[in-house]
Structure 1
Amino acid sequence: MGLIGELLLLPLAPARGSLWVLRQVVAEAERQYYDPSAIRRELSLLEERLEAGEIDEAAFERREDELLDRLHHRTEQDF
């Protein structure tokens, strides 16, 4: 794209910048969501809550399945 194209698209620069920032925020949120150490921490806290009687076995299993799915999703993306 030449100089003329850049000049014509100049009014869209704020929108393109905002889109870039939004993509960066989404990428970081996904990185944190699928971070194996964060998932393991959540699993540990979940087990503590079960042992303390704060949650029942069914709630534990549901949440554990969700966390393991996240962990599995992360390992699939690494390959």
Structure 2
Amino acid sequence: MVLRILFAPITGLTWIAEQLQERVDAEMNVKENLQKELLALQLAFDMGDVEEEEFETREEELLLALQAIDDQERAERAAEAEAE
């Protein structure tokens, strides 16, 4: 019981670090999946499996999603820099 109280701050920090790591991993997976989808779309277009109009529409959607992720990452880094 006493050890549990003594180690509570360390346990709390460990939990926070794990949560941050999970969030970073999830964001990287989303970005990575969007990049893979964009590459697959380009290959499908090059092979003639996708019409140009559909390609351009989908490409724009994917690029906007990637841009939003990049913007969010920049904003988070700026907020962290201000906090320091």
Displaced runs of 4+ in structure 1, greater than 6 A?
none
Q: How does 1:1-79 map to 2 (within 5 A)?
A: 31=26, 35-79=30-74
Of the two structures, which has the highest relative contact order with CA contacts closer than 8 Å and spacing of 6 or more?
Answer: 1
Stretches of structure 2 lacking an aligned partner (at least 5 in a row): 1-22, 75-84
Deviation track 1:22-48 (CA, whole Å, cap 9, x = no partner) reads xxxxxx8xx46x822111100110011
RMSD over equivalenced CA pairs, Å = 2.2
Aligned equivalents of 1:75 and 1:51: distance in 2? 27
Instruction: State the identity %.
Output: 29
Aligned residue pairs total: 50
Stretches of structure 1 lacking an aligned partner (at least 5 in a row): 1-27
> TM-score, structure 2 length as denominator?
0.52
